Amino acid sequence: MNQYIGLDVSLKDTAISIREDGKRIWRGKCPSDPKLLAQMIRRKAPRARRVVFETGPLSTWFYHTLTSEGLPAVCIEARHAQKVLNETLNKTDANDADGLAQLAEAGFYKAVRVKSFDAMMARTLVAAREQLLNISTQLGNQIRGLMKTFGLIIPRAKGRVFDGEVRKLLNGNSELAKIILPLLEAWHDVRKRAADLGRQLLIVARGSEATKLLMTIPGIGAVTAVSYVTAIENPENFRTSRSVGAWLGLTTRRYQSGEVDYNGHISRRGDNRLRGLLYEAATALLTRTIARTESSLKSWGLKLRERLGFKRAAVAVARKLAVIMHSMLKTGEVFNASAGATV
């Protein structure tokens, strides 16, 4: 008989539940190391049909390691699983593992695609650079706020100009300089590290034909192109290009019941960072006036802006960009400005 395993993964321990023929035959705990888990599963469930666990911080590591160990690992959507697991009377790790094992046995789950380690490496690079940029912005704002208390107003400036303005205002105020200069040095160091990661990101973008193809679209830079390619991975993962917009949460939600039927805001499901990058790209496309940005896609977006407002138009253009980019990856053809799609 086939055996079905549910894993409730945490940072320290993983609860395990094994079912066979509609009954639980064993449950226990194991340290959260997928190789140790694989050894225990092979010992306790030699005829494992499915090993199910939820999406989470460790899911990529668990999925690839368990798969390499020859186990039929399945990563399922956490939101879907929680709707079922919340029906249990007592919320424990063991009960959650039991619930996941029941879902595995019934086949009532929504499997998710787990990204490769190479894709996750590029996404980590993008996330680390973004985090450093956010920290540098916070440090700059902190310096402005602290100096403002003493009547020292820093003009709007960036980079070296900002540094020069801060030092000029601190000239002759040694006590305040002792407080602000360490923050300024930290600001410099964070910006330097962010620039280093930015150069690594450019190397990754230039080394990929797919990212270079996407960067032919006005408003799409290295960060957005790399993020999109690593999120999609293989264009064949989507049957149609139109489904990418829904996958990224850029389509409106619908509620219909009886006589009630209306569309709401966009669903905002999927990759938050990539959705934000596409919205920024759409904003750049609609607001820049240089010749390179002129296209039928921009004309379409500007007409929507007149009718629906800027934000809704930008969301619509972002959704259209997601569809066009997938079509370009699938066909290998460059962006055609006159068609607003691929050649």
What is the full DSSP assignment across 129-180? HHHHHHHHHHHHHHHHHHHHTTT-PPPS--HHHHHHHHHHHHTT-HHHHHHH
Instruction: Categorize the per-residue pLDDT at 108 as very low, low, confident or very high, splitting at 50, 70 and 90.
Output: confident
User: What pLDDT is attached to residue 343?
Assistant: 39
CA distances from 79 to 25, 56, 76, 88, 243 (A): 27, 11, 9, 15, 20
Backbone phi, psi, residue 318, to 5° = -60, -40
User: What pLDDT is attached to residue 136?
Assistant: 97
pTM of the complete model = 0.86
Residue 75 lies in a domain: yes
Whether residues 141 and 244 fall in one domain: no
Nearest to 53 by CA among 68, 37, 40: 37
Structure tokens at 84: 């079922």
Residue 175 lies in a domain: yes
Whether residues 217 and 315 fall in one domain: yes
Q: By CB neighbour count within 10 A (0-12 exposed, 13-18 middle, 19+ buried), where does 89 fall?
A: exposed
pLDDT tens per residue across span 133-161: 999 999 999 999 999 999 999 998 888 89
Whether residues 329 and 236 fall in one domain: yes
- Length, in residues, of the chain: 343
CA distance 270 to 228: 12
Choosing from 160, 187, 207, the residue where a domain stops is 207
User: What pLDDT is attached to residue 300?
Assistant: 93
Whether residues 38 and 145 fall in one domain: no
Range of the domain at 200: 117-207
Positive or negative, the Cα torsion across 299, 301, 303, 305? negative
Choosing from 86, 106, 126, the residue where a domain stops is 106
The number of distinct structural domains making up the chain is 3
Instruction: Categorize the per-residue pLDDT at 253 as very low, low, confident or very high, splitting at 50, 70 and 90.
Output: confident
Q: By CB neighbour count within 10 A (0-12 exposed, 13-18 middle, 19+ buried), where does 122 fall?
A: buried
Gyration radius of the chain's alpha carbons = 25
User: What pLDDT is attached to residue 254?
Assistant: 78
- When the pLDDT of each residue in the chain is averaged and rounded to a whole number, the result is 92
Q: State yes or no: pLDDT of 341 exceeds 80.
A: no
Whether residues 49 and 85 fall in one domain: yes
Instruction: Categorize the per-residue pLDDT at 24 as very low, low, confident or very high, splitting at 50, 70 and 90.
Output: very high
CA distance 255 to 305: 25
Whether residues 93 and 192 fall in one domain: no
Whether residues 100 and 130 fall in one domain: no
Instruction: Categorize the per-residue pLDDT at 260 as very low, low, confident or very high, splitting at 50, 70 and 90.
Output: confident
* Bridge partners, 254 (sequence order): 263
